[in-house]
Amino acid sequence: MLIKRICLISLITSFMVLNGCSDSVETKSATEGMMEFVKTDIAVGHGAEVTQGDTVAVHYTGWLYDDSVADKKGQQFDSSRDRGSPFEFPLGAGRVIKGWDQGVEGMKVGGRRILIIPSNLGYGKKGSGRAIPPNATLVFDVELLDVR
């Protein structure tokens, strides 16, 4: 009887140890989303800060958020740099996602900023086409080229 108990305890202990040493790593995918909006200046730029009502010209690259990589940049879905054509929009007019209106405000010409945009400030529950799934957190590298 004692031998059976020892074997059973050894078996249970081994299972618990092996289960605790699993290779799986939990990561947040773009669709699980982040709840926090983050702006990080890579370069500050010069001149006056952009305010709502200004028309801005930017170069940008956008990725799906991926918590499993250091820079959080997952699958790239768009880039004005790749097209060689800056994107222009009136800041604060609602022509772009809310995260852009909030994230570009305060930049200076020549400035470059990384934006991590939660889905509620991005494309929300609907996503956008095939490139951006519902509830996706997004990462953008935005460079302010001009202000009018």
Contact call for residues 102 and 37 (beta carbons, < 8 A):
yes
| pLDDT exceeds cutoff 50 at 18 | no
What domain range is 112 assigned to?
Answer: 38-147
**103 within domain boundaries:** yes
Residue 132 is classified by DSSP as B
Q: How far is it, in rounded angstroms, from Cα 128 to Cα 21?
A: 39
Active-site annotation, residues: 60, 77-78, 97, 123, 140
Smallest CA-to-CA distance from 136 within 28, 58, 24 is with 28
**61 within domain boundaries:** yes
| Terminal alpha carbon distance of the chain | 86
Number of domains in the chain: 1
Q: How many CA atoms lie within 13 A of 137 on its CB side?
A: 21
Pairing of strands 87-90, 112-117: unpaired
| Tens of pLDDT, residues 56-107 | 999 999 999 999 999 999 999 999 999 999 999 999 999 999 999 999 999 9
| pLDDT exceeds cutoff 70 at 27 | no
Residue 97, domain CATH: 3.10.50.40
